[in-house]
Amino acid sequence: MSDHEQKPKLVGPWRNLHAAVWLIGLAILAWKGWWWPGILVLIAISLVIEAILMRYAPHAFATPEPTQPAPPAPPAPAAPAPQASEHPFELLPSVCAKCGGPIRGHEVKWTGPQSADCPYCGANIQMERR
């Protein structure tokens, strides 16, 4: 079997039968404490059941459809270049005159080109003169 061929998979109730064999086999191994070489016997039983199903019930297997590689994703749009801020951050006071909260240019609510509100109390912030 080459790297490109995929092994047929059990489908329907046959897959459940295979799972039941493994669960019952593991339960018996745990109950009796026969881990070695019991696990080898369980693998052999599993392979024998698969071979019998392949011989007498070929409809129990379904060959998976070959998967096509996903088309490459389109390139992400370039981020816009940072532009000069239209808001004069340097004119903001360092603290709010009403509540005393720290004022940062990225946290205030700008209400106009030179008008902002405090993010804590909502008071209009007086811009400093140049």
Mean pLDDT for the stretch of residues 102-128: 82
| Residue 100 DSSP SS3 | coil
pLDDT in tens, 91-104: 788 888 888 888 88
- Under the banding of pLDDT at 50, 70 and 90, the label for residue 55 is confident
pLDDT in tens, 9-51: 777 677 777 788 888 888 988 888 878 888 888 888 888 888 7
Query: pTM of the full predicted structure?
Result: 0.39
Residue spans of the domains in the chain: they are 9-62, 88-130
Mean pLDDT for the stretch of residues 106-126: 82
Instruction: Work out the percent of the chain whose per-residue pLDDT is above 90.
Output: 0
Please give the single-letter amino acid code of residue 11. Answer: V
